[in-house]
Structure 1
């Protein structure tokens, strides 16, 4: 696709384009920093800054090689209730950076809480992340995971210890799931979404919860003041890839959520995004309870929650976990071991590395 075919005369696209079968010629990229993309009534600045991976700054980062000619799998393999593994990663640092939305622009973002890769900053690329350290249990996971920092008043509230990041099958044919391509990145949700958009988002699982309060779009007014009570959120990412781009100007159009196959209850990838990848699900706990009236996100109210993912897994390690746990229909921990199926063994050794 030529650069000219990528650029429209206007700087806006509609949210409907997010599911257009690589009508990515209709995704706008502008040479002006004020370019914006429309998402269900709200606007978000497009990335227009150049970076080592996007030297022309048009926001498109092609996959090399691309995955072409595929069609979504409609197979229905033997039912397995689980097909997942965990990436257990702790918080490494906070910083007002976002290498996906504001590459090469330090301090341009609201504050983010980073997990996984210890080097993530505004200048991060696939190469720098791959050379960095990690707080994840599996040393092969050098991916960057981040979300807006949570505050209680002016005090940051950071998750303590390894957080659960699930890698699941989002489609019925769990045997069709393949590992993420190195360098894939995307944003889940939007800091400018409305409360209703947050609640209706396809990634919404349980919203904000604490104690016996569930499915909240905003932070509960209060939570039980007990040591065992924390503020939690679960939110799922799209898991169907167009096979062509590691990133697009809105950081979403190259990804899509599964759809229901007509006449069935089966989840399949849409035609324009036929490649089934692992479905990431953040399950994050924040150590705050009691009076919640001053709890906020760096991006705003509770419904502004969103998160970013930048894949820098060691290819062989990720493939071993995906093949053993997701394709294999197991419920694995961070080393790829399912305690209910000990006979299946583990994908990784006791040191969380490939044997």
Structure 2
């Protein structure tokens, strides 16, 4: 597996074809926004900070892989491949106004093909050669919510960044911290997971040690198995907050739901939930996707419409006020 992510020339290529491997790209509409984290805080209701979650509706306060068969428990998925009941989630973005109040920033459908999606994320599974699909019970995180400096982030994690969108076609100019000025078309946040697995553990206590980044073009001996690169793109609708006269005096108006105003605490969570061998079939077939439509060029996978994906939602388990202007972040998370 190459150490660099596969480049997607968004403005020039449709369909996206990767002759050496798979470029599976699809939409996952918003499933739920709530303070639950069955991976880092299993059984805790509510968890410490707010998350936006997509995928299968088996998502719950506890998802113990020894007792839960996700594909058979879920009754729907907000992702377009109907055999993908995985869950993908990140923290939630907030606008912090000059007067110290907060307002939740919504996600919106990726304007390159998924404008009718009810928010959520664009999900990719990428490969540059033969890969082994994740096993039942597999889960992982990437990033660290405690990080507040660029050196902390870049010394440990790769390919996690922000794109200030001048238009929906903007690519390039990524930063590892929040953009410094208004972004006319919103902010795109990209999170890429490691691509090497130890071949033994579907999880570890820190949810990260069982995976690793490649060294050069090869996986390290400690993590010899190449797995697909899981990659999220989330479009945050910061357009209603571009009036800089309403920004705080420090000039940085956005903060993650866990209290990070630097942006360096960016992180993501993943719980595998594909049915049977569906993901392995798609990777073996080097499946690809049309860029400007919801079409996956993958005969081995069945795909539902964006309208059907939008219908899959989960009842909120944690009831709290998330709308309007708030005097503090949900859970009382301090800003730092």
**1:305-331 CA-partner distances (Å, limit 9, x unpaired):** 1000000111232122111126xxx55
Runs of 4+ in 1 over 6 A off after TM superposition: none
**1:250-291 CA-partner distances (Å, limit 9, x unpaired):** 11101111111xxxxxx1111111111101111111111314
Partner SS for 2:202:
strand
**1:157-212 CA-partner distances (Å, limit 9, x unpaired):** 2312342111012xx5x12x021111100111110123222244442254343327
- Listed as ranges, the matches of 1:188-337 within 5 Å are 188-196=142-150, 197-211=152-166, 214-225=173-184, 229-260=185-216, 267-289=217-239, 290=242, 291=244, 293-299=252-258, 300-301=260-261, 302-325=263-286, 330=288, 336-337=296-297
Q: 1:332 to 1:249 in 2, by over 3 A?
A: farther
Kindly indicate whether residue 88 of structure 2 is the aligned counterpart of residue 129 of structure 1. Answer: no
For the 8 Å contact 2:19–2:286, the answer to whether it is kept is: no
- TM-score for the superposition, normalised by structure 1: 0.64
Alpha-carbon deviation of 1:152? 1.6
Say what the alpha-carbon RMSD is for the aligned residues. 2.6
Distance 1:104 1:350 in 2: 33
Q: 1:350 to 1:207 in 2, by over 3 A?
A: closer
> What's 1:146 paired with?
89
Q: Which has the higher contact order (CA 8 A, sep 6+)?
A: 2
Distance 1:349 1:312 in 2: 16
**Paired residue total:** 253
For the 8 Å contact 2:142–2:267, the answer to whether it is kept is: yes
> What's 1:178 paired with?
132
Distance 2:204 2:193 in 1: 16
Kindly indicate whether residue 46 of structure 2 is the aligned counterpart of residue 107 of structure 1. Answer: yes
Q: 1:183 to 1:107 in 2, by over 3 A?
A: same
More strand by share: 1
Kindly indicate whether residue 132 of structure 2 is the aligned counterpart of residue 156 of structure 1. Answer: no
> What's 1:348 paired with?
301
For the 8 Å contact 1:178–1:319, the answer to whether it is kept is: yes
Distance 1:96 1:350 in 2: 30
Which has the larger displacement, 236-245 or 208-217? 208-217
Partner SS for 2:264:
helix
For the 8 Å contact 1:199–1:207, the answer to whether it is kept is: no
For the 8 Å contact 1:325–1:336, the answer to whether it is kept is: no
Q: 1:115 to 1:190 in 2, by over 3 A?
A: same
Kindly indicate whether residue 123 of structure 2 is the aligned counterpart of residue 165 of structure 1. Answer: yes
For the 8 Å contact 1:325–1:332, the answer to whether it is kept is: no
Alpha-carbon deviation of 1:220? 2.1
In structure 1, runs of 5+ residues without a counterpart are 1-71, 74-78, 261-266, 338-344
Partner SS for 1:217:
coil
